[in-house]
Amino acid sequence: MKWTRKHLLGLEDLSAEEINIVLDTAESFREVSTRKKKKVPTLTGKVVVMMFVEPSTRTLTSFSLAARRLSADVVGFSRGGSSITKGETLIDTAKNIQAMGIDVIVLRHPAPGAPHLLARNLDASIVNAGDGTHEHPTQGLLDIFTMRDRLKRIEGLTVAIVGDIKYSRVARSNIWGLKKLGARVIVVGPATLIPSHIEDLGVEVCYDLDQVIPECDVINILRIQLERQKSGLFPSIREYARVFGLNTERLSRAKHELLIMHPGPMNRGIEITPEVADGRHSVVLDQVTNGVAVRMAVLYLVAGAKG
């Protein structure tokens, strides 16, 4: 099978074969980051715009490095310094940027569906770098890449995704990707943070973290979005940490080869203790390293696709 997609909007749209093409392409690119001269000429002459309308540390840095390692020209864009603050619409802003001759727009936006809107209205390739609570496809891909790299398979793995499932784009992209590749996915968290009918996506639901830990090959801990506490979705931070926080005591019943992941940014001492975040099961920084190779693969594939 050949890659034909001009955009990467989400993992819901991708087939298992397409996900594997991204993972295999990322595998071939990861070596570039270990070279003294960390660059290949693959995207020479292409222009990639980082359109981040929401804050980011990891994704923005990772996409920028990925594009530079492929020799693309990279243009930065942030909401604060742009005419979006003067009321310009997203489509008008993007069309103006496109008129300067760009090939790929990497978009992070608080509105679910914003990348899809640009994909319908522009000629450039659009890559979703996180759209509201909807999807964060490259985070899902780099999480799956890290699991495959460490455990040598995805099919048959038991993966628990723990925390704020309801508002997490990372959870949604992981669920779509993992289910397509044959993993068993269990979502764990307070009932108020688990969407009704989530089972329709093929996942199991559990409200007791201690019950699932011994079965897991991977535990992906989500950031608890502290701003949600005001909305009464969980009683207190201390209560959340007590019931759903991953700590050393809980891990005493885990498999020896368990992987612990977190997309970042971490709330140390809330969803994960510092000992676990920095402990022997943690692959949090591997995820970040692998993210560059995965994003190189995505930029290479969409920039080369005819659509």
Active site positions, annotated: 58-59, 86, 108, 136
What is the 3-class SS of 163-220, one letter each residue?
CCCCCCHHHHHHHHHHHHCCCEEEEECCHHHCCCCHHHHCCEEECCHHHHHHHCCEEE
H-type alpha helices, the chain: 16-29, 58-69, 90-98, 114-121, 137-151, 169-180, 209-212, 237-244, 248-251, 274-277, 284-304
Largest CA distance in the chain: 57
Interface ranges with ligand CP (CB under 6 A): 56-59, 130, 136, 139, 263-265
Q: How far is the CB of 107 from ligand CP (least distance, A)?
A: 13
Residue 140 CB, shortest distance to ligand CP, in Å, is: 11
The CA distance from 252 to 146, in Å, is: 23
Q: Which tokens in the block code for residue 298?
A: 């995505």
Q: Shortest distance, CB of residue 225 to ligand CP, whole angstroms? A: 12
Q: How far is the CB of 106 from ligand CP (least distance, A)?
A: 11
Q: Among 54, 74, 57, 76, which Cα is nearest to 66's?
A: 74
Q: Which two tokens stand for residue 244?
A: 């759903």
- Asked whether the beta carbons of 66 and 88 are under 8 A apart, the reply is no
Residue (57 or 83) nearer to ligand CP, CB: 57
Q: Which is nearer to ligand CP, 112 or 264 (CB)?
A: 264
| Measured CA distances, 11 to 127, 143, 178 (Å) | 12, 12, 10
CB of 22 to ligand CP, least distance (A): 17
The residue among 264 and 279 lying less far from ligand CP, judged by its C-beta, is 264
Q: Can you tell me the distance from the alpha carbon of 1 to that of 11, in angstroms, rounded to the nearest whole number?
A: 17
Nearer to ligand CP, 128 or 139 (CB): 139
